Amino acid sequence: GDSVTQMEGPVTLSEEAFLTINCTYTATGYPSLFWYVQYPGEGLQLLLKATKADDKGSNKGFEATYRKETTSFHLEKGSVQVSDSAVYFCALSNNAGNMLTFGGGTRLMVKP
Amino acid sequence: KAGVTQTPRYLIKTRGQQVTLSCSPISGHRSVSWYQQTPGQGLQFLFEYFSETQRNKGNFPGRFSGRQFSNSRSEMNVSTLELGDSALYLCASSGGATDTQYFGPGTRLTVL
């Protein structure tokens, strides 16, 4: 079946540091790929998405490129802020319905 | 547009009881999906409803059930509660048959 693997956290960075959170997937066909973010005590917020190979999703300074050849969708941000501290989930959708398969989540902690 | 709303936000039950959670999707959205989030198992898909029909189902026992009404609002029911059912239950809605999902804030269920 489909699966998503994320780097384990926590990831601890200083403010303005460069962020990379690795995400790889296993799926048949051509899934859509997503990054969601969860702040403490809240639900998931869609951060960005890509629906086909070589697409780049971007939002609020975050970017991720759909790499089919390496089955990856790594999340990057050039300069993190304290307010980016949260848990980040990589996910894929690969069927006729709306069913997301999630990675285990990566906690990001940004220190001032 | 108002986002996805879930009620109640917090719930405490005892083993053996049953519980019903409610989800109101974004106006115009016809698909509602439910997920269970626990520290040990992460985010797991429960089921999806589209136009009042269950379209996808995850690997959960029959104690977990759901339904969708003609106004797209959805409920999920868990009967004979177990301690392991303690979790954050997230609802997500999407506009089409295969579309980006938007999440509600979740219902935190504690089983004592």
- Provide the pLDDT confidence category of residue A99 given band limits of 50, 70 and 90: confident
> CB atoms < 10 A from the CB of A16, how many?
10
What does the block give as tokens for B8?
A: 């109640």
Task: Provide the pLDDT for residue A97.
Answer: 66
For residue B73, the distance in angstroms to the closest alpha carbon of chain A comes to 16
> CB atoms < 10 A from the CB of B98, how many?
16
CB contact under 8 A, A98 and B43: no
Q: Identify all chain A residues contacting B100, using CB atoms and an 8 Å cutoff.
A: 34, 46, 49
pLDDT tens-digit readout, B16-68: 999 999 999 999 999 999 999 999 899 999 999 998 999 889 999 999 999 99
pLDDT tens-digit readout, B60-101: 999 999 999 999 999 999 999 999 999 999 999 998 656 789
